[in-house]
Amino acid sequence: MERDDKVAGAAGIGGGLDDVAAPLAAPDNARRGRRGPGGGNRDPQRRPDDNKRERAESEWEEKIIQVRRVTKVVKGGKKLSFRAVVAVGNGKGQVGIGVGKASEVVSAIQKGVVDARKSLVTVPLVGTSIPHTITGKTGASRILLKPAAKGTGVIAGGAARAILELAGVGDVLSKSLGSRSPLNVARATINGLKGLRTFEDAARLRGISIRQLFT
């Protein structure tokens, strides 16, 4: 009898634990059920948008041309800040340069990137080179750009090389003829790329056909 009472008591205790555990498990199941349909529908909707944004941002490349410390004399002493010249391009014919100024280098670079995206220039490409020879001018800086045969590469240095590579130009010859200030050279390069025209554009402006253009 004692053994039967012990077994019955154990069974009663077990049943009590099950009865207590059941209502405690119910809210968890309910919560899981709520998270399943609700959370499952929200995350898939957000993830594709995030992926699209990341892909769009990944198309643009950034290159720092120059970071310079600037000192400004103000009442009470000197104020130190940084100036960053940044070039932004997608390698498909669009490029721009921007200047950012801030008390920290990172902030100056971020401002330069934002400024560069506001002043993008579309570059007409013929294969991997430019359509014709052109000279870009800005201030005392002049830069000569010439088309080159396939496989030549980008024969340029400094700021001009960074801008040409970001624009997607693969074969080009260049020569700096004036001041070698990085900012002025970069602006002169952008000025030259902005003045490029394809043969179709030149024929359309003159009101003639491409055949008459070459005759």
User: What integer is the mean pLDDT of 16-27?
Assistant: 44
User: What integer is the mean pLDDT of 137-154?
Assistant: 94
Residue 8 has pLDDT above 50, yes or no: no
Q: Which residue has the higher pLDDT, 90 or 10?
A: 90
Confidence at residue 110, expressed as pLDDT on a 0 to 100 scale: 95
User: What pTM was computed for the model?
Assistant: 0.70
Domain count of the fold of the chain? 2
Looking at the structure, tell me whether residues 88 and 26 fall in a common domain.
no
User: What integer is the mean pLDDT of 105-124?
Assistant: 94
CATH classification at residue 81: 3.30.230.10
Looking at the structure, tell me whether residues 49 and 145 fall in a common domain.
no
Residue 17 has pLDDT above 70, yes or no: no
**Domain-embedded: residue 196:** yes
Amino acid at 154: V
Confidence at residue 193, expressed as pLDDT on a 0 to 100 scale: 94
Looking at the structure, tell me whether residues 46 and 65 fall in a common domain.
no
List pLDDT tens digits, range 186-208. 999 999 999 999 888 888 888 88
**Domain-embedded: residue 152:** yes
Looking at the structure, tell me whether residues 123 and 182 fall in a common domain.
yes
Residue 37 has pLDDT above 80, yes or no: no
User: What integer is the mean pLDDT of 11-24?
Assistant: 44
Q: By mean pLDDT, which of 18-32, 77-91, 136-150, 187-201 is the weakest?
A: 18-32
Report the mean per-residue pLDDT for the chain. Answer: 81
Looking at the structure, tell me whether residues 104 and 186 fall in a common domain.
yes
Cα distance between residue 90 and residue 111, in whole Å: 18
Confidence at residue 188, expressed as pLDDT on a 0 to 100 scale: 96
Q: Which residue has the higher pLDDT, 15 or 155?
A: 155
Looking at the structure, tell me whether residues 70 and 161 fall in a common domain.
yes
List pLDDT tens digits, range 53-96. 555 557 889 999 999 999 999 998 999 999 999 999 998 899 99
Instruction: Pick the last residue of a domain from 18, 37, 54.
Output: 54
List pLDDT tens digits, range 154-165. 999 889 999 999
Domain that holds residue 3: 1-54
121-122 sheet: strands from edge to edge: 61-74, 77-89, 94-102, 121-122
Which is nearest to 191 in space by CA: 131, 129, 153, 142?
142
Looking at the structure, tell me whether residues 77 and 177 fall in a common domain.
yes
Looking at the structure, tell me whether residues 137 and 40 fall in a common domain.
no
Cα distance between residue 175 and residue 148, in whole Å: 13
Residue 106 has pLDDT above 60, yes or no: yes
Confidence at residue 52, expressed as pLDDT on a 0 to 100 scale: 57
91 DSSP assignment:
S
Alpha helices per DSSP H over the chain = 2-34, 40-58, 105-118, 159-167, 182-194, 199-206, 210-214
